[in-house]
């Protein structure tokens, strides 16, 4: 669970499904029994001491109208896809709940910056652009093999890494069904490797919580 400043004030934490009940118990112990209301995809807690927490449903969770159903949906195991990309590296996988069922990690060569006295800038730019396109095409092929056959089963596609690299992959027309599943959540991950992909799964399933202690939420 990591805390970070939230735009407009407060802080935001990501709580994995298995720790959500403990987090709620701790919030109540610190701030008192909260009043609970529903706001679309979020559950709002208002404690007696003024602390406020808004729990936002994780990617792929269905819309619910009451707190009990919200919490049940937030922790329920759902099939989801993962697509992480940075420069020449890509990691693709799909999971059922907390279990990563199938995955593939790959690297393609993309020329880095040249030293002074190397190729002309235009020639270098053309070659690097071609290499980047080839890398995106190869990554799209992996997504086609691993994710496209399960597009009707997946509840969401969570992406991360470098947005430009991910966007280039999903620009492939074959992946249009996956593009429709893409979640707003974008994971900040290092160069994709198998360990990075496995670590990204809990983040993809986490409940995002906005916390304001003794204040009011933005907006």
Q: How far apart are CA 46 and CA 49, in angstroms?
A: 8
Within a domain: 85 = yes
Within a domain: 117 = yes
Within a domain: 148 = yes
Whether 73 and 85 share a structural domain: no
Within a domain: 218 = no
58-69 b/e (C-beta count within 10 Å ≥ 16 → b): bbbbeebeeeee
Whether 94 and 108 share a structural domain: yes
Whether 139 and 182 share a structural domain: yes
Whether 177 and 129 share a structural domain: yes
Whether 68 and 125 share a structural domain: no
CATH number where 125 lies: 3.30.420.60
Q: Which helix (H) or strand (E) covers residue 180, if one does?
A: none
Residue pLDDT tens, the chain, 219 long = 667 888 888 999 999 999 999 999 999 999 999 999 998 779 999 999 999 999 999 999 998 889 999 999 999 999 999 999 998 799 999 999 999 999 999 986 444 555 454 555 665 555 555 545 656 889 999 999 999 999 999 999 999 999 999 999 999 999 999 999 999 999 999 999 999 999 999 999 999 999 997 654 443
Whether 67 and 91 share a structural domain: no
Within a domain: 162 = yes
The residues, any chain, with a CB within 8 Å of residue 5's CB and separated by 6 or more, are 11, 12
Q: What's the whole-model pTM score? A: 0.85
Instruction: Tell how strand 99-107 and strand 89-96 pair up.
Output: antiparallel
The Cα-based distances of 171 to 3, 138, 204, 219 in angstroms read 33, 13, 22, 34
Whether 29 and 124 share a structural domain: no
Whether 11 and 104 share a structural domain: no
Whether 119 and 72 share a structural domain: no
Written as six digits, the tokens of 205 are 């399933």
Whether 184 and 86 share a structural domain: yes
| Residue position matching structure tokens 């009043």 | 35
Q: For residue 94, what are the domain limits?
A: 79-204
Whether 91 and 151 share a structural domain: yes
Q: How far apart are CA 163 and CA 121, in angstroms?
A: 25
Number of domains within the chain: 2
Whether 16 and 84 share a structural domain: no
């Amino acid at each position: 669970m990591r805390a970070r400043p939230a735009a407009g004030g407060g802080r935001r934490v990501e709580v994995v499904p298995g720790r959500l009940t403990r987090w709620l118990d701790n919030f109540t112990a610190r701030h008192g029994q909260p009043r609970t209301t529903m706001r679309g995809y979020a559950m709002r807690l208002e404690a007696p001491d003024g602390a406020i927490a808004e729990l936002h449903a994780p990617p792929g969770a269905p819309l619910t109208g009451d707190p009990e159903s919200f919490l049940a949906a937030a922790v329920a195991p759902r099939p989801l896809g993962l697509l992480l990309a940075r420069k020449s590296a890509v990691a693709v996988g799909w999971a059922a709940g907390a279990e990563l069922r199938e995955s593939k990690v790959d690297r393609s060569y993309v020329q880095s910056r040249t030293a002074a006295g190397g190729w002309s800038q235009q020639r270098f730019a053309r070659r690097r652009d071609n290499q980047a396109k080839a890398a995106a095409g190869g990554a799209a092929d992996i997504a086609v093999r691993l994710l496209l056959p399960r597009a009707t089963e997946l509840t969401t596609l969570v992406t991360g890494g470098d947005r430009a690299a991910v966007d280039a992959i999903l620009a492939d027309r074959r992946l249009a069904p996956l593009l429709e599943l893409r979640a707003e959540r974008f994971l900040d991950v290092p160069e994709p490797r198998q360990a990075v992909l496995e670590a990204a799964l809990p983040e993809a399933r986490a409940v995002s919580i906005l916390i304001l202690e003794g204040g009011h939420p933005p907006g």
